[in-house]
Amino acid sequence: MKAVVVEQYAPIDQIELKDVPSPRAEPGQLRIKIEAAGIGFVDGLKTEGRYQTKDPLPFIPGTEFAGVVTDAPGAPGGYQPGMRVMGMTRSGALAEEIVVKPEALHPLPDGVAPEVAASFRANYLTALYALSGRASLVAGEQLLVLGAAGGTGIAAVQIGKLLGARVIAAASTPEKREFAQAHGADAVIDYTQAGWRDTFKEMTDGHGADVIFDPVGGDISVQAFRSIAWRGRHLVVGFAGGSIPALPFNLPLLKGGALLGVDLAQIGVREPELQKRLMGELTGWLADGQLKPVVGQIFALEDFRGAFKAMQTRAALGKMVVRIAR
Ligand SMILES: NC(=O)c1ccc[n+]([C@@H]2O[C@H](COP(=O)([O-])OP(=O)(O)OC[C@H]3O[C@@H](n4cnc5c(N)ncnc54)[C@H](OP(=O)(O)O)[C@@H]3O)[C@@H](O)[C@H]2O)c1
C-alpha cells in the first residue's frame, strides 16, 4: 500500500510517499481501507519531532480518518466488513490502510462523505468538550473564539452557536473573518489591530467574554484574558502562534476569571463516559444535519505536503483533508 512515512523527524518537504506492506488485522483488531484523512496542526509538529510526545521512528503520520472496514476477525466491537467508520489514532492515517482496535472507531452516520467525517472528530469533540464539558457555556453567553477560521476555531464557532451563545470570531484577515461569519459567527474582530480589545468591549456593551476559546497562545492569550467577563472561563486549547503565554496571577483575581485546560488526548482515558455522551451528541447533530462540519481544502494523497503547508503558513481555512481512496 502507499503511505506517507516519516523516517527522520524533518520538515514536510523532506517526507516521502512510499510503498510499504499492508498491515494485517490480528484477532481483536480491524483493518480499514482509508478514504480520507484529516490533517491538524499537531500532525505538522509530530513530523518535525516538535510535539510534546514523539512517535517512535519510522512512523506514518495522520491521526484522523474515515473509511470502510475490510477485515474484522472475530467482529471486534460488533464491526463487520463493509461498515463505514471514522476513527482516531496516535498515527497511521496517511496511508491506504490502517489496523486499529475497535475503541478507535465510531460508526459513520449514513450520507456523511468521507472528507466530512475525516474533518469531524478531533476538532468538534475538542470544541464541544471545551465549551460544554469544561466551560459549561450556556445560551446567551458571549463566546470569543480566537483563530476562528482555523480547524478547531471554526468548530468552536459552530458548536458555540448550537449551544446558543453569541459568538464573536477573532481572525487575522478579512477572508478568514468572512469565513467565520459564513459559518455562523454573530460578529467578527481583527485581533491583529492594536486597539482590538476596545472594539471588543464595545461589541459586548462592556461585559467582556464569558468564555474564550483559545487555540492560538502567545501575547494574544493574555490580551484576551484581560477582556474576560466576571466569572469568565478561558479555555487553553493550543499554541498555534508558537509561544506559550504566562498569565500574571493577579489577573484571575482581579477579573474573577478562570483558566481551564483542554486535552483531547486525555478525554477518552480520564472521562470515558463524558466522551461517549459528547460523541453521541455530535453524531446526533451530524445525522440530523444541524451540524455541517467544515471541510477546508481537499488534497490528493500525492499532494499531502500541501495540506501541511497550508497550516504552517497560516493560510488554512477550516480543516485540511487528504483524499486517499475513491
Ligand atoms: N487541546 C486539544 O485537545 C487540541 C485539539 C486540537 C488541536 N489543538 C491545538 O490547537 C492549535 C490549533 O489547531 P488547529 O488545528 O485549529 O490549527 P489551524 O487550523 O492551523 O488554526 C490555528 C489558527 O491559529 C492562528 N495563528 C496565529 N498565529 C499563527 C501562526 N504563526 N501559524 C499558524 N496559525 C497561527 C491562525 O488564525 P489567524 O491567522 O486568524 O490568527 C490559525 O487559523 C494547535 O496548537 C493544536 O496543536 C489542541
Q: Whose CA is nearest to atom 37 of ligand 1?
A: 147
- Residue 279 within a domain: no
- Residue 302 within a domain: yes
The mean pLDDT of 36-40, rounded to a whole number, is 95
SS3 58: coil
Residue 101 CB coordination number (10 Å):
13
Residues 115 and 143 in one domain: no
Q: How many domains does the chain have?
A: 2
Report which ligand 1 atom has the smallest distance to the Cα of 296.
19
CA dist., res. 268 & res. 121, Å (int): 12
Residues 138 and 92 in one domain: no
DSSP state, 108? P
- Residue 286 within a domain: no
Residues 134 and 244 in one domain: yes
Torsional sign, CA 105, 107, 23, 118: negative
* 22 confidence band (pLDDT: 50, 70, 90): very high
Peptide bond into 252 cis (omega under 30): no
Ligand 1 geometric centre to CA of 246 (Å): 18
The mean pLDDT of 147-170, rounded to a whole number, is 97
Give the type of residue at 80: Q
Residue 208 Cβ contacting ligand 1 at under 6 Å: no
Share of the chain above pLDDT 70, in %: 100
Residue 160 Cβ contacting ligand 1 at under 6 Å: no
pLDDT at 246: 96
Residues 183 and 223 in one domain: yes
Residues 166 and 208 in one domain: yes
Q: Which residue range(s) make up the domain with 11?
A: 2-120+293-323
Residues 156 and 249 in one domain: yes
Q: Whose CA is nearest to atom 13 of ligand 1?
A: 41
Q: What is the largest CA-CA distance in the chain?
A: 61
Residues 147 and 248 in one domain: yes
C-alpha cell at 179: 469565513
Give me the sheet containing 166-170, strands edge to edge: 187-189, 166-170, 142-145, 209-214, 228-236, 258-261
The mean pLDDT of 184-211, rounded to a whole number, is 97
Ligand 1 geometric centre to CA of 147 (Å): 6
- Residue 287 within a domain: no
The mean pLDDT of 124-153, rounded to a whole number, is 97
Residues 116 and 133 in one domain: no
Residues 254 and 167 in one domain: yes
**Contacts for 240 with CB less than 8 Å, ≥ 6 apart:** 41, 147, 150, 215, 216, 217
